Amino acid sequence: MIELRTPAEIEAMKPAGRFVASVLEATRAAADVGVNLLDIDALAHEMIRSAGAESCYIDYHPSFGASPFGKVICTSINDAVLHGLPHDYRLKDGDLVSLDFAASVDGWVSDSAVSFVVGTPRDADLKIIETTELALDAGIRAARVGNKIGDISAAIAEVAQGRRYRINTDFGGHGVGRTMHGDPHVPNNGRAHRGLPLKAGLVIAIEPWFLETTDRIVTDADGWTLRSKDGSRGAHSEHTVAITDGDPIVLTSRG
């Protein structure tokens, strides 16, 4: 069911957005060569406890997950691009890291993701990270009353295809509110002027993610981590966005 939020409810969602942004800023700052992914998860967990927030991930068990997630942040490394389950791994020089985090504050959820390189970056990694960020910006600009879901999808796809990246539509953006995942689905490819009309009060996570040389993914042995079929690297950017009668509000804006 698609729910529209009142201006007062969107205002009430802002603390969750600020908290999610602060956790991603802190975990990104902590991620460095030699840092263990379990320590990144522990930092996020401690911030949740200190803020009196609730994890959206730890007990999360959708149909595509092998078991409850059991951790509080997704840590996807190199050829892993989504749902990376934190494990005993120390970051190496040049690793491409994607962090995805969602939490509930006072009953309202926000969801956001960021990708970056620790240590010495490869040009190809910087390009694909930049592409997800440009695509996210394009999708946010299209999130306006009078447009349709397809306009967001088409804006994202135009950026990706302009840089010759293929697009997987198995996973994409989604509604956000009292729960982490709701209607509508926001694919990263679609036809402009098609689909659900965008109305004030709709709150969605917009999340472009791309892989270097494929659009096919496989599930890792942990039952969660999604990797590229061909071993190429990927990147992921995401914000929770509220559509209003004016400009869209990026609830998870960082810095």
pLDDT tens-digit map of 21-37: 999 999 999 999 999 99
pLDDT grade for 68, boundaries at 50, 70 and 90: very high
Q: pLDDT at position 216, please? A: 98
Q: Does 83 show up as a binding residue in the annotation?
A: yes
The answer to whether 111 is annotated as binding is: yes
The mean per-residue pLDDT over the stretch 200-205 comes to 98
CA distance 203 to 10: 8
Two tokens at 50?
């200190």
| pLDDT for position 255 | 77
- Cα distance between the two ends of the chain: 33
For 80-110, the DSSP string reads: EEESPPP-S-B--TT-EEEEEEEEEETTEEE
Q: Please, which pLDDT band fits residue 161 given cuts at 50, 70 and 90?
A: very high
Q: Is residue 59 a part of any domain in this protein?
A: yes
Q: What is the pLDDT of residue 64?
A: 85
pLDDT tens-digit map of 91-150: 999 999 999 999 999 999 999 999 999 999 999 999 999 999 999 999 999 999 999 999
Q: Which helix (H) or strand (E) holds 8?
A: helix 7-30
**Alpha-carbon distance 246 to 237, whole Å?**
24
Helices first, then strands: H and E counts in the chain: 4, 14
* pLDDT at 246 (0 to 100): 96
| Residue 158 forms part of a structural domain | yes
The CATH number for 109's domain is 3.90.230.10
Q: What is the mean pLDDT of residues 228-235?
A: 98
Tokens standing for residue 140: 């946010």
Range of the domain at 181: 7-250
Q: What percent of the chain has pLDDT over 90?
A: 97
Q: How many domains does the chain have?
A: 1
Asked if the structure places residue 58 within a domain, the reply is yes
Q: Is 11 annotated among the ligand-binding residues?
A: no
Q: Stretch 233-251: mean pLDDT, rounded?
A: 98
193 annotated to bind ligand:
no
Q: CA–CA distance from 205 to each of 44, 52, 143 (Å)?
A: 20, 23, 11
**Which pLDDT belongs to residue 125?**
98
Q: What is the pLDDT of residue 66?
A: 85
Q: How confident is the model at residue 176 (pLDDT cuts 50, 70, 90)?
A: very high
Q: What is the pTM of this model?
A: 0.97
183 labelled binding-site residue:
no
Mutual angle of helices 7-30 and 37-51, in 10-degree steps:
140
Q: Please, what sign has the CA dihedral across residues 129, 133, 138, 140? A: positive
Asked if residue 2 is part of any domain, the answer here is: no
**pLDDT tier for residue 1 given thresholds of 50, 70 and 90:** confident
25 is in an annotated binding site: no
Q: Is 54 annotated as a binding residue?
A: no
- Chain mean pLDDT for the chain: 97
pLDDT average, residue stretch 210-234: 97
Separation between Cα atoms, residue 186 and residue 195, nearest integer Å: 10
Does 211 map to a domain? yes
Check residue 175 and give its pLDDT: 98
Q: Is 221 exposed, middle or buried (0-12, 13-18, 19+ CB in 10 A)?
A: exposed
Q: Is residue 255 part of a domain?
A: no
C-alpha angle with apex 169: 164 to 174, nearest 5 degrees? Answer: 120
Residue 68 placed within a domain? yes
Residue 133 belongs to some domain of the structure: yes
Residue 63: what pLDDT?
A: 86
